[in-house]
Amino acid sequence: MSYSSDISITQFNMIRRYLPKVKKTRPRKYSELSLINGMLYVLVNGCKWRDIPSDLPSWHSVYKYYRTLVISKYLDHILYKLNDRYFKLKSKNINNKHNNLPNHIIVTDSQSIRCTDLMSGKDKGYDGNKKVNGLKRFILMDVLGCVWYTRCVKGNLSEKTEIRKIMKNFTSMKAYPKRFKSLLADKGFESESLKQDLLKESGITLYSMKSTKRLKNNTIFDKDQIEYIKQQNKLIKSLRWIVEQGFAHLDKARRLIVNHEKRTKMHEGFVKLQFIRLKLNQLVR
């Protein structure tokens, strides 16, 4: 029986060589395609591991395979390879509208989600701004909609502090695309010291949306400066919708609406798996 969450054989062949190798002396009981479809069933339908249908592999096998992909960072490698393939596909077509987009720009934002009582209190925090007790998800996306990095942290941690760590880890990766030179963000990332630190440590320039309230409260009202900031905010906002679209894609998977995982790493794995699923659908169209 097939489900709406399943991937096709064509899609599976795109990621087959990036999956864990199997020893010939100890073959798997279930095929890799059926194990991945079992993981996707849990992701899309939001059910418990034990509620996987009987025509799919046993939940023990599916969970063990998913845990291997997350801990050994196979999902990160698959996501990078699919992004490279998608970028090359769009670059080949000269008449494609995506060629006019600035490919050196990467966009970031965070999203707070609620956690269930399965996660211990020390692993989650209260986001006072959005009134959410749980996790905060960060993603880095380029202008083509490819997600290059994801990270989940406590909800009470500062965005400015975490983006320093995220960009440092992202730029230190071997597969890091050297074409990225600019980072766009909203007002929550506005900081001159953060901008200088990112440029010094990562070689990436931060362009964040700025507030004009401080200028209006000053005794000297600089009208030209306020107008310049408004134009800059408008330009950043015209590209920031991409990251909001990425968060909207996560809401299509019921497992990601609320965090049901005991460990943050497991929730990060589902986020990456959802973006892998979406990228596979885009490549097969």
Q: How high does pLDDT run on average in the chain?
A: 88
User: Secondary structure of the chain in the HEC alphabet?
Assistant: CCCCCCCCHHHHHHHHHHCCCCCCCCCCCCCHHHHHHHHHHHHHHCCCHHHCCCCCCCHHHHHHHHHHHHHCCHHHHHHHHHHHHHHHHHHHCCCCHHHHCCCCEEEEEEEEEEECCCCCHHHCEEECCCCEEEEEEEEEEECCCCEEEEEEEECCCCHHHHHHHHHHHHHCCCCCCCCCCEEEECHHHCCHHHHHHHHHHCCCEEEECCCCHHHHHCCCCCHHHHHHHHHHHHHHHHHHHHHHHHHHHHCCCHHHCCECCCCHHHHHHHHHHHHHHHHHHHHHC
Compute the distance between CA of residue 270 and CA of residue 43 in angstroms, rounded to an integer: 7
Percentage of residues in the chain with pLDDT exceeding 90? 63
| Confidence (pTM) | 0.90
User: 46: left (phi > 0), else alpha (psi -120 to 50), else beta?
Assistant: left
Query: By the 8 A CB rule, do 133 and 166 touch?
Result: no
| Per-residue tokens: 50 | 């034990």
Residues 79-127 pLDDT 10s: 999 999 998 888 776 555 555 667 889 999 999 999 988 888 888 899 9
User: Secondary structure of 62-103 in the HEC alphabet?
Assistant: HHHHHHHHHHCCHHHHHHHHHHHHHHHHHHHCCCCHHHHCCC
Compute the distance between CA of residue 237 and CA of residue 233 in angstroms, rounded to an integer: 6
Query: By the 8 A CB rule, do 214 and 5 touch?
Result: no
Compute the distance between CA of residue 240 and CA of residue 3 in angstroms, rounded to an integer: 34
Compute the distance between CA of residue 275 and CA of residue 23 in angstroms, rounded to an integer: 29
Compute the distance between CA of residue 163 and CA of residue 109 in angstroms, rounded to an integer: 9
Residues 168-193 pLDDT 10s: 999 988 888 888 999 999 888 988 89
Residue type for 125, please?
G
Q: Provide the pLDDT for residue 60.
A: 94
Compute the distance between CA of residue 56 and CA of residue 107 in angstroms, rounded to an integer: 38
Residues 190-238 pLDDT 10s: 888 999 999 998 889 999 888 766 555 554 556 677 777 777 788 888 8
Q: Provide the pLDDT for residue 213.
A: 64
